[in-house]
Structure 1
Amino acid sequence: MYELKVEGMSCGHCVAAVTRSLQEVDAAAKVDVDLAQQTVRVATAAPLEKVREAVEEAGYTVLSGAARS
């Protein structure tokens, strides 16, 4: 699981865009977006760099990201 600090998310559309982008990388990815904390948690087998790229391609800035257990 990865946890990313993401800038620019503010609404349900943002949640949908990030989720859709991540599931294009890994259709089985489990995505949890917390708008208040500006975090995205992703359970996926994809590498962290691909996860970061997917969020950025959705139009958001990844401030930090790390693997979490």
Structure 2
Amino acid sequence: MHRYQADNLLHIPKMMCDRCVAALTSALHKLDGVARVEADLMARTVRVVSRHYQSALLRTLREAGFPAEPVLQPLG
């Protein structure tokens, strides 16, 4: 677990509706109860601010049935 929170942008191709968002948010909150999760259904992306490594977030989403890929963000 990180000591500091990190901002992660993840693409989730299988995220289609509000029920999907609720399910993946629930799974992420089980991993990190204070994680901030913001979903964009149109872009099928989720921004997660968490103290956990990105690999743990990706594993949690995969196990919940929502395989995800990191979206590279420009620096600066």
Shift of 1:7: 1.1
Q: State whether structure 2 residue 67 is matched by structure 1 residue 65.
A: no
Deviation sequence 1:19-42 (CA, Å, 0-9, x none): 000011100000011110010100
Contact 1:48 1:66 in 2 (8 A): no
Amino acid at match of 2:65: G
What residue is the counterpart of 1:6 in the other structure? 12
> Would the alpha carbon gap of residues 2 and 67 (structure 1) be closer, same or farther in structure 2, given more than 3 Å must change?
farther
Moved over 4 A (4+): 66-69
Q: State whether structure 2 residue 29 is matched by structure 1 residue 17.
A: no
| Structure with higher strand content | 1
Amino acid at match of 1:17: A
Instruction: Determine the C-alpha separation between the residues in 2 that align with 1:42 and 1:2.
Output: 5
Residue correspondences, number = 68
TM-score, normalising length: structure 1: 0.88
TM-score, normalising length: structure 2: 0.81
Structure 2: gaps of 5 or more residues:
1-6
Contact 2:37 2:48 in 1 (8 A): yes
